Amino acid sequence: MSSVLGKSQIERFSRQLVLKNIGAIGQKKILSAKILIVGVGGLGCPAAENLTRAGVGTIGLVDNDTVNISNIHRQSLFSSKDIKKTKVSVAAKKLKDINPDTIIKTYNTRLNEKNIKKIIKNYDLIIDGSDNFKTKFLINDYCLKFKKKLVTGAISKFDGHVFTFDFKDKKTASLKNFYQEDDISDDILNCEFEGVLGTTASVVGATQANEALKMIIEIGQNLKNQLLIIDLLNLNFRKVNFKKK
């Protein structure tokens, strides 16, 4: 990548460039970043959109699902005309419309033990927008093993959870240090039965994108060994500490 921002880049990202914590140096870090988003749903859509608008250089999208009419109220990249189309293909096209310079790579598959190493190895940071604990623990374990940065999110009803991990730091706890068990019911992540307000997905997905950008630029404080709990029904935000064990 060029060491100098182009004229169109300066104009496109002008409101970010004037921020003293970002500037040209921070923007070039964003442009060089490679982020993988697992799950192009309620969390993955707003995360991908915000990161594309911010100028992230390469974004990978992993999902094997197609757009359903019940997705549209909370999955912000999709519309009624996208029903029955693959999520990654629709999302990729819309993200390219937002920022043609962002490289979008698609993986129309379900992340599993056989393909995860090959998929995540070329990305600096992973955003977990999956809807089941098996996938979340799989992502957590591989990010820990390969010292990746990870931002995990979950939503249900009016509530959201966000974790941030930088596994290059040996003092960083993992997702398993919080849950402390492998066999957890996915019912608490099941929007079909528990329900979820669409804005909850937007807030949590955007928060994941915000955490990712801060980690890329290396500014501010992240959620090291903390869980952010978002209660949008009562508009409460609080952090819970947990330790590496």
Question: Lowest-pLDDT range, 105-114, 179-188, 196-205, 228-237?
Answer: 179-188
Return the structure tokens found at 138: 């799989």
Q: Other C-beta atoms within 10 Å of 113: how many?
A: 10
Return the structure tokens found at 192: 């079909």
Instruction: Based on the fold, state whether residues 77 and 20 are members of the same structural domain.
Output: no
Rounded to whole angstroms, the Cα distance separating 43 from 131 reads 9
- Kindly give the pairing relationship between strand 125-128 and strand 103-107: unpaired
Instruction: Tell me what the mean pLDDT of segment 74-99 comes to.
Output: 98
Query: What pLDDT does residue 186 have?
Result: 57
The torsion angles phi and psi of 52, rounded to 5 degrees, stand at -65, -45
Rounded to whole angstroms, the Cα distance separating 174 from 227 reads 11
Query: What pLDDT does residue 4 have?
Result: 80
Instruction: Based on the fold, state whether residues 22 and 121 are members of the same structural domain.
Output: no
Instruction: Based on the fold, state whether residues 57 and 156 are members of the same structural domain.
Output: yes
Instruction: Based on the fold, state whether residues 26 and 61 are members of the same structural domain.
Output: no
Question: Lowest-pLDDT range, 40-44, 156-160, 192-196?
Answer: 192-196
Q: For the sheet containing 159-166, what is the strand order?
A: 103-107, 58-62, 34-38, 125-128, 149-156, 159-166, 226-231, 236-241
In the chain, the percentage of residues whose pLDDT exceeds 90 is: 87
pTM score, two decimals? 0.94
Instruction: Based on the fold, state whether residues 133 and 172 are members of the same structural domain.
Output: yes
Instruction: Based on the fold, state whether residues 237 and 147 are members of the same structural domain.
Output: yes
Q: Examine the pLDDT at 143 and tell me if it is beyond 80.
A: yes
Number of domains within the chain: 2
Instruction: Based on the fold, state whether residues 126 and 27 are members of the same structural domain.
Output: no
Tens digit of pLDDT for each residue in 35-62?
999 999 999 999 999 999 999 999 999 9
> Domain containing 189: what range?
35-241
Instruction: Based on the fold, state whether residues 23 and 108 are members of the same structural domain.
Output: no
Asked whether 1 and 32 are in contact (CB, 8 A), the reply is yes
Residue 194 pLDDT level (bands cut at 50, 70, 90): confident
Question: Lowest-pLDDT range, 65-74, 80-89, 105-114, 172-181?
Answer: 172-181
